[in-house]
A and B are shown apart, each in its own frame.
Chain A
Amino acid sequence: MTLVATWRLPRVLVVDDGEPHAPIDGLPTGTFLRDLDLAGLIGRASAIDGPWAVDVDTIRGLRGDEAAARLVVERLGASAVVSRRVTVVRAAAAFGATGLLGVHAFDSTGLRRTADAGSMPDGVGSLLSPGLVLPHLRLDELELLPRPLVVHGLIVRPSDALACLELADAIVVRRDAARYLGTALRNPLPSLRKPLTTIPIEE
């Protein structure tokens, strides 16, 4: 029997920047933790209000193994766990979180080789990076990626975020991009198409 993972987080995850969580009007969000050391992860996990996901491969001091999955899910309360290691995401799923296998998509050949290597396990989803390639994938490439599918990386413009949301279960964006997306979604779509492409980008 094929195991299917489910997505229980909001469809927009905001990269944690260490600031207090400020809700974005009209846009339910979760938090995405990355690039921390272990003590920092523990501190942020206890401070975050709401569901969160973590990329354990970027947590300094944490080995990517089953013990790490147990820590972030059972002790710290992660709802989703990202790793490029199959054992970690499988363990996270076994502990009750959504496991997301990290998949890089720099070209079609590399993406297909990853899938052909048989590293896409049942019962876990995938996190694709850079997420901005998602609208450029063909259907047969999209089908290589296990669901739930979350995308992450280089999604800056609201139009790009919306295009990704049409195909993915969730997106990961920085706070500035999430704010612009919130603004975009609060407006009726027909009048929104043009402003979407002209909202300034904060850098």
Chain B
Amino acid sequence: MTARSAVAPGAPATIDRSVGGFVARLREQPCCAAVVADGFLDQALASGAPIVFILRGDGLALREPIERIHAAGKLAAIHLDLVDGLAADPHGVGWLARSGADAIISSQGRLMPAIRREGCLAIHRVLLSRRSHLDGAMKAAARAAPDVLEVLPGILLPSITQLLPRLGIPVLAGGFIRSAEDVRAVMAAGAMGITTSQADLWAEPT
């Protein structure tokens, strides 16, 4: 496991930002809340989801939502490429780190070192579209050396797991996972956790 500063700026001292801490939370409850619209955050905070993924919203005004996520005892993961107002570059990474993000997600592997330098967990989102791209995408992911890999569409993981190399990195699966049965199938295919905007799964035990 990667050694990591245990406490984020602005985060309560009890929040463990190490990869081990992240994985431990997923072992307790693998379904993470993907917040894709205003109004979802309250529901996510009230749920059993251990980690809240912010995939939409004003990236320049995240300090308060992140404080609320921490106050609920959860980790905050922010998707740098999807929130408004921030460039997907090291400065954008720095802004999110100073806003209190515990983890930063990006599809851009080159940002993983910058995210780690800021003391945040680096989550590399890999979009799987066709077989001929898999090799290149997974090699790029290996080079980027993220702490966690997020694979989309996650629902396909059981069908394509034999095509994916084992990278020795915890894998999250997101996209079109809609039922407890889907969750179990994706977990059985090797995912450590699930990211989903489907609120009824946020507290779903497996």
Could you mark each residue 123-160 of chain A with 1 if its beta carbon is under 8 Å from any beta carbon of chain B, else 0? Answer: 00000011011001110000000000000111011001
The answer for the CA separation of A157 and B174 in the assembled complex, in Å, is 22
CB of A1 closer than 8 Å to a CB of B:
no
Interface centre among B130, B155, B174 (most CB of A within 10 A): B130
Q: With A106-B152, A108-B197 as given contacts, are A154 and B176 in contact (CB-CB < 8 Å)?
A: no
> A133 vs B173: C-alpha distance in the bound complex, in angstroms?
14
Q: Main SS of chain B's interface residues? A: mixed
CB distance from B174 to the nearest CB of A (A): 6
Interface residue tally for chain B (C-beta within 8 Å): 22
- B20-28, B43-51, B63-71, B158-166: which one contacts chain A? B158-166
Q: Any chain B CB within 8 A of the CB of A35?
A: yes
Q: Is B156 located at the chain interface by the 8 A CB criterion? A: yes
Say yes or no: A107 contacts B175, CB within 8 Å: yes
Q: Mark A68-80, 1 if CB is under 8 A from B, else 0.
A: 0000000000000
A166 interfacial by beta-carbon distance below 8 Å: no
CA A104 to CA B175, docked complex, whole Å = 12
Q: Does A105 contact B (CB under 8 A)?
A: yes
What residues of chain A lie closer than 8 Å to B163, measured between beta carbons? Answer: 154, 156, 203
Interface residues of A in 165-203 (CB under 8 A from B): 174, 201, 203
Hey, which bits of chain A sit against chain B, CB under 8 A? 35, 104-109, 129-130, 132-133, 136-138, 152-154, 156-157, 160, 174, 201, 203
| New contact pairs (7) apart from A133-B176, A156-B160, CB-CB < 8 Å | A35-B132, A107-B197, A109-B197, A130-B128, A132-B160, A136-B155, A152-B130
